[in-house]
């Protein structure tokens, strides 16, 4: 169903009915137009109420129709709004739940609007790199005023309906049942003429030019590489300075211009990629999930404590296990301090603080974890240590408990084999700091049960993470790819760069942090430990030895106040190190490498294309189900610039044949084996196709 029509005496009621959020798909748009015309054709009908079924009025465009012919098929949303606004019988929008995007634009096209408290009101289009395209930039400032309207449009933030009571957006706030309240309101205004139209409201704002210039300057300072926020200001300026019809046309032109930008395409790609990541072809949506009402975490270090906070934040009681009281006390103190810092910033109330801290308890005994529904180990990244932990868990945990490993590189199938219940074992790779970072890499073992996978994906949503499923391989999706990125960073410093140049180039490209700053933050000893394993397991893979020399000097990063950079006490700012720079230059000489000037573009291409090539291998091997999953891993866990859409999407925008040509050029230098193209990349480039 899309939109139903009923008559309540002299009031016609058109109900939007397109679950889950009454998206304005083609059938719904057609249903609204048919309903209005039916009401206009019946002399007994005096007014029309538009209302949403289920949990809201309308969440806007139907995302299932994005990029399909139906999205543009008549009646378009513009046509629907024109029909509603042009009705010679009053149309009342009755709002509850959500009125967002096109849903709010539809309501603004109605003659009257009533609402109940608790409805979320928003024009969030800027978040996908566009602006409201059906009159939102022209009508919202007319009902809220220039400043409030512009703020909502530029931020895309939702505002609760009760906060907008008293503005021209709502003619009445309804207490009690919405439909009955809307019917009563409609009866009361049925005879009023002329019918009020938002388009006829004038925006009176003293010195509007001065305010709009101030707004442009402010928005320009925070918009970064995204063009949409500034275009929103331009569109709202048209609402102030131009006749309504001209403003609507200008808004449409800006909308069509933004839709074509790479930045908007990247944001829309990320929007759909996040939704696609939770869909697993062989795990149907109706797969039953196991209840998660309690949790346990092994290890109260930085990672374990951060993981425990995620459960407490979601209202799930969690037990933290350590081997020694001192380590446990330290972990619990760290948790408390993290929450205190959040409270000091005003992001947590005392009541929330007390509630969350109370949900976390400590123990030194495995037996105390036995009844937890899920247990996550966050111990040292060593297979022997994991074996000891999982044998203990197998012995004490209740049947049906999910046994999860926070491993970042190790074989989850081997870990599962340490238990008599491999079907209950799964990888849950959190990213540091675990209470902040959005990514949760979910590693599906060969024997992981479907309901365990479905439960873990649902849990990711509950603890406000983006869950992305990976198959089992060394490093999974994220760390397997980052290894190639770090390898190239090492080769670049051997050949002529210094760490600061590499970091600066990739940060200018948009990364949150360059490879050397990232390594200093994570701890250079971690990479050293993994490389030592690689030297034995994969002797054919070459690495720069500069990072090993760094670690031999005890320069492990921020935790030792010395890594690739120097650090001052209490200051995380990296200061280029003469000692390290001289060490790098001396190492190049020892290898007989004549150092050369390397451009920032070469740095960017080598680092990013190393990610892309490994991503293509991961895709081909089925470790990742789709290219967009790889992009989600990098956007949410590794600081890849959002406006570039992730490594695989970025490669598509560059053109895969161009990526391949660059790689072939790099292969003529040192370490040619690092540039052996993935067969999938060669195939797609040869066919003129993309990853997506």
CATH code where residue 321 lies? 3.40.50.720
Catalytic annotation present for 125: yes
Q: Is 54 left (phi over 0), alpha (psi -120 to 50) or beta?
A: left
Residue where the block lists tokens 């048919």: 34
- Sheet (strand 98-100) strand order: 98-100, 120-122, 159-160
Supply 436's token pair: 């902040």
If asked whether residues 56 and 103 sit together in one domain, one would say yes
d(CA 631, CA 468): 10
7, 65, 105, 590: the active-site residue: 105
d(CA 513, CA 515): 7
At which of 439, 470, 501 does a domain end? 470
Residue 70's pLDDT is what? 77
DSSP string, 639-659: ---GGGT-HHHHHHHH-HHHH
Residue 602's pLDDT is what? 98
Q: No. of H helices and E strands in the chain?
A: 28, 19
Supply 173's token pair: 């706030």
Residues of the chain with pLDDT under 70: 1, 67
Residue 310's pLDDT is what? 97
If asked whether residues 154 and 201 sit together in one domain, one would say yes
Residue 329's pLDDT is what? 95
Residue 238's pLDDT is what? 97
If asked whether residues 439 and 492 sit together in one domain, one would say no
d(CA 60, CA 51): 14
If asked whether residues 497 and 519 sit together in one domain, one would say yes
If asked whether residues 299 and 415 sit together in one domain, one would say yes
10, 65, 125, 351: the active-site residue: 125
Q: In which domain, by residue range, is 196 found?
A: 3-258
Strand, helix or coil for residue 476:
coil
Sign of CA dihedral 5, 8, 13, 15: negative
Residue 51's pLDDT is what? 98
Contact of 337 with 344, CB cutoff 8 Å:
no
If asked whether residues 112 and 28 sit together in one domain, one would say yes
Residue 65's pLDDT is what? 76
If asked whether residues 397 and 457 sit together in one domain, one would say yes
- Other beta carbons within 10 angstroms of residue 438's beta carbon come to 14
Residue 64's pLDDT is what? 74
Residue 1's pLDDT is what? 56
**Distance, CA of 244 to chain centre:** 36
Catalytic annotation present for 10: no
Contact of 527 with 518, CB cutoff 8 Å:
no
In a domain, 277, yes or no: no
- Other beta carbons within 10 angstroms of residue 512's beta carbon come to 13
Residue 536's pLDDT is what? 80
If asked whether residues 245 and 308 sit together in one domain, one would say no
Contact of 280 with 457, CB cutoff 8 Å:
yes
If asked whether residues 562 and 636 sit together in one domain, one would say yes
Say which CATH number the domain at 566 has: 1.10.1040.50
- Sheet (strand 112-115) strand order: 3-8, 11-16, 47-52, 91-95, 112-115, 172-173
Residue 231's pLDDT is what? 98
Sign of CA dihedral 105, 110, 113, 116: negative
pTM: 0.92
Residue 307's pLDDT is what? 96
pLDDT tens, 384-405?
Answer: 999 999 999 999 999 999 999 9
Ranges of H-type helices in 345-411: 350-358, 383-396
If asked whether residues 7 and 143 sit together in one domain, one would say yes
Domain count within the chain: 3
Say which CATH number the domain at 38 has: 3.90.226.10
């Amino acid at each position: 169903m899309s939109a139903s029509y009923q008559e309540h005496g002299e009031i016609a009621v058109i109900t939007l009915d397109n679950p889950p959020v009454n998206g304005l798909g083609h059938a719904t748009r057609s249903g609204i137009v048919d309903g209005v015309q039916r009401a206009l054709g019946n002399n007994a009908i005096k007014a029309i109420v538009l209302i949403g079924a289920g949990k809201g009025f309308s969440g806007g465009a139907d995302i299932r129709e994005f990029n399909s012919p139906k999205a543009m098929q008549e009646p378009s949303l513009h046509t629907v709004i024109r029909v509603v606004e042009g009705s010679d019988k009053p149309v009342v929008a009755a709002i509850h739940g959500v009125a967002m995007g096109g849903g709010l634009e539809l309501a603004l096209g109605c003659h009257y609007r009533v609402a109940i408290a608790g409805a979320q009101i928003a024009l969030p289009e800027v978040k996908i790199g566009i602006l409201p395209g059906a009159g939102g930039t022209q009508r919202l400032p007319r009902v809220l005023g220039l400043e409030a309207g512009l703020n909502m449009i530029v931020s895309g933030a939702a505002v609760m309906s009760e906060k907008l009571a008293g503005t021209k957006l709502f003619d009445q706030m309804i207490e009690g049942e919405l439909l009955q309240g809307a019917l009563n309101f409609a009866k009361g205004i049925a005879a009023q003429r002329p019918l009020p139209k938002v388009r006829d409201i004038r925006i009176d704002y003293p010195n509007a030019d001065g305010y709009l210039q101030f707004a442009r300057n402010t928005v320009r300072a925070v918009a970064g590489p995204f063009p949409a926020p500034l275009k929103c200001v331009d569109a709202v300026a048209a609402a102030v300075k131009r006749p309504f019809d001209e403003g609507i046309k200008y808004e449409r032109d800006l909308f069509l211009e933004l839709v074509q930008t790479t930045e908007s395409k990247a944001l829309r790609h990320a929007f759909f990629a996040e939704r696609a990541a939770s869909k697993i072809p062989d795990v149907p949506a109706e797969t039953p999930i196991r209840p998660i009402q309690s949790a346990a975490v092994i290890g109260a270090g930085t990672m374990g404590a951060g993981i425990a906070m995620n459960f407490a934040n979601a209202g799930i009681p969690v037990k933290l296990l350590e081997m020694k009281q001192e380590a446990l006390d330290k972990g619990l103190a760290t948790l408390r301090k993290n929450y205190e810092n959040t409270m000091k910033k005003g992001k947590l109330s005392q009541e929330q603080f007390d509630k969350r801290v109370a949900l976390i308890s400590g123990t030194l005994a495995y037996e105390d974890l036995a009844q937890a529904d899920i247990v996550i180990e966050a111990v040292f990244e060593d297979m022997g240590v994991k074996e000891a932990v999982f044998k203990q868990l197998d012995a004490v945990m209740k049947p049906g408990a999910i046994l999860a490993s926070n491993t970042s590189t190790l074989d989850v199938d081997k870990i599962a084999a340490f238990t008599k219940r491999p079907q209950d074992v799964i990888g849950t790779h959190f990213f540091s700091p675990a209470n902040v970072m959005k990514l949760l890499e979910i590693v599906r073992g060969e024997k992981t049960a479907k309901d365990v996978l479905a439960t873990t994906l649902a849990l990711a949503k509950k603890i406000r993470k983006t869950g992305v499923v990976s198959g089992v391989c060394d490093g999974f999706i994220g760390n397997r790819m980052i290894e190639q990125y770090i390898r190239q960073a090492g080769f670049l410093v051997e050949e002529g760069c210094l760490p600061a140049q590499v970091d600066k180039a990739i940060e200018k490209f948009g990364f949150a942090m360059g490879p050397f700053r990232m390594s200093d933050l994570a701890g250079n000893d971690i990479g050293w430990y993994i490389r030592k394993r690689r030297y034995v397991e994969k002797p054919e893979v070459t690495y720069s030895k500069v990072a090993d020399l760094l670690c031999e000097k005890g320069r492990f990063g921020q935790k030792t106040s010395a890594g690739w950079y120097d650090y001052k006490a209490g200051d995380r700012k990296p200061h280029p190190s003469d000692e390290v720079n001289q060490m790098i230059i001396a190492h190049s000489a020892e290898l007989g490498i004549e150092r050369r000037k390397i451009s920032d573009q070469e740095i960017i291409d080598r680092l990013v294309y190393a990610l892309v090539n490994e991503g293509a291998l991961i895709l081909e091997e089925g470790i990742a189900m789709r290219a967009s999953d790889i992009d989600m891993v990098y956007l949410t866990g590794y600081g890849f610039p959002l406006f570039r859409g992730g490594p695989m999407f970025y490669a598509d925008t560059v053109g895969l044949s161009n990526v391949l040509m660059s790689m072939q050029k790099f292969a003529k230098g040192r370490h040619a084996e690092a540039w052996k193209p993935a067969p999938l990349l060669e195939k797609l480039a040869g066919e003129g196709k993309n990853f997506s």
